[in-house]
Amino acid sequence: MKKISFIFILLLFTLTGCQSATTEGAFFHDYLVNPFSFLIHEIGTLLGGNFGVAIIVITLLIRLVLLPFMLKTYKNQQDMKGKMALIKPEMSAIQKKIKETKDKEEQKKLQQELMMLYQKNGVNPLNMGCLPLLIQTPILIGLYYAIRSSSEIASHSFLWFNLGQPDHIMAIIAGVVYLAQSRVSLMNIPAEQQAQMKIMGLLSPVMIFIFSLNAPAALPLYWTVGGAFLILQTLIGKTLYHQQPALEKQETQ
């Protein structure tokens, strides 16, 4: 639920706008939006005025820089899931007792017992790797506003569409790519957890599709490239850090 709230707030902040991102002299505008605007101009000019390719290049460069952090986060999450799976029977039993008892002292004692169980097995439910998300958020939002405010992008075409005008086909592609990304992220996750994560998985593609319908086509292009890279990143992470089921681990010990 906390992750759902985080993503919702992030998308809402990105899509509705931020005054500091569009105001000259503001820190966010001067140190994040302006550098990306400069890169878009320079790379696009270097490529003969092809600002669509410039967006793709910059998006991929950012994702490649963030890739090691994201893979490390994925590894930590898989390790934590494995530990949580191993202690699940004991953990569930204690949690059930906490819910059933009405005695405050008994609840406190059981909560301490649960914390001891976590500590004994090296489990920290709160340490699921949010730092890379916090690092990439201002970077990606800075790129978002640089694309939205670029005069070069507003007057150039790429493939079949004008970068500065809405394009329904690109809106559909961006929504489908992020829908596919949400499905890929559910691979190898237990069915009961998938049911809880499906709502979160639908939130991002639906919001991106709706916003892209009236946004300059450069933005769904940026989301499409970023979403496609996330699919590849997720597949790499799942291949490198595939987590064996807890029962398999117990049998091999």
Residue 23 domain flag: yes
Closest Cα partner for 61 from 80, 41, 82, 43?
43
169-220 per-position pLDDT tens digit: 999 999 999 888 888 877 766 565 556 666 767 787 888 898 888 888 888 8
Q: Model-level pTM?
A: 0.69
Q: What is the pLDDT of residue 252?
A: 45
* 8 in a structural domain: yes
Count of domains for the chain: 1
Q: Distance between terminal CA atoms of the chain?
A: 34
Which residues of the chain carry a pLDDT beneath 70?
1-27, 124-136, 188-198, 200, 242-253
Q: Tell me whether residue 252 is in a domain.
A: no
Domain that holds residue 234: 1-241
In a domain, 250, yes or no: no
Residue 60 lies in a domain: yes
52 assigned to some structural domain? yes
CA-wise closest residue to 143 among 73, 61, 205, 72 = 61
Residues in contact with 99: Cβ distance below 8 Å, sequence separation at least 6, in sequence order: none
Q: Which of 217, 238, 218 has its CA nearest to residue 169? A: 217
pLDDT the model gives residue 4: 44
What pLDDT is attached to residue 191? 60
* Contact indicator for 215, 185 with CB cutoff of 8 Å: no
- Is residue 103 packed enough to be buried (19+ CB in 10 Å), middle (13-18) or exposed (0-12)? exposed
Q: Is 212 exposed, middle or buried (CB count within 10 Å of its CB: 0-12, 13-18, 19+)?
A: buried
